[in-house]
Structure 1
């Protein structure tokens, strides 16, 4: 019997309830959950700014969660890079990606290697971006 391996990539900057929700929900959907914490460099390239919490601390926070079986450093915004390294069966994302060009590209690239994308409800009222705006006031 094979186990279902799930992967949840994310920045996990300013860890909040939305991060907790997606990790707990993903854990219910697979036998082994891997959380990928994106590097500071990739985050800066994708979001145009560095994270507030450095990578080592984000790895420690996410890796300390009981719902996470394994934590890894995510080295690329291209999730095929991580699939080649981890060979997960399903990738979990917030549904803010669903139906968008980046979500469509993600689904297509995962389908090429036999993995699927599962979306969970995005926590609209709390996000790292919103928290960052409150902090910088």
Structure 2
């Protein structure tokens, strides 16, 4: 049976950490679906709009050659996207492991038989740090 993997993210200012999680996810599933969080949802979740507009972030993720499908993700509730994609595994950075939000995500997805798989977070580069540098110029 083919395994469908899902990686949600902002993918704003695409960097090596983004590439790392996608490459690792690709190794653990037969079909890799990537969710790009919409501008409105990102602004609501993080309090700031993305630097790179939604359509451009979608195009960048679709163009890297290791992704089978790119979908819009408009909610922090991953059951909503599961209803459209029916993924088996959701991949996240291990900065979520052991946190309240990670636990809620695991419990929520378990209700539909999906699991969460964590990968090491890339400490050297983050979108938050890139944003800080850009906005301080």
**Structure 1 runs of 4+ with >6 Å offset:** none
CA-to-aligned-CA distance 1:101-122 (integer Å, 9 cap, x gap): 1000000001010000000001
Q: Figure out how many residues of one structure are paired with residues of the other and give that number.
A: 136
Counterparts of 1:99 and 1:136, CA distance in 2: 31
Q: CA deviation at 1:66?
A: 1.1
Per the alignment, residue 117 of structure 1 pairs with: 116
Task: List runs of 5+ in structure 2 lacking aligned partners.
Answer: none
Residues 84-103 of structure 1 mapped to structure 2, 5 A cutoff: 84-103=83-102
Length-normalised TM-score, structure 1: 0.98
Once the two structures are TM-superposed, the CA of residue 135 in structure 1 deviates from its matched residue by: 1.0
Give the CA RMSD over aligned residues.
0.6
| Structure 1 unmatched runs, 5+ | none
Q: Which residue in the other structure is 1:39 paired with?
A: 38
CA distance in 2, matches of 1:77, 1:63: 21
Alignment TM-score, normalising by the size of structure 2: 0.98
CA distance in 2, matches of 1:58, 1:74: 12
Match of 2:78 in 1: 79
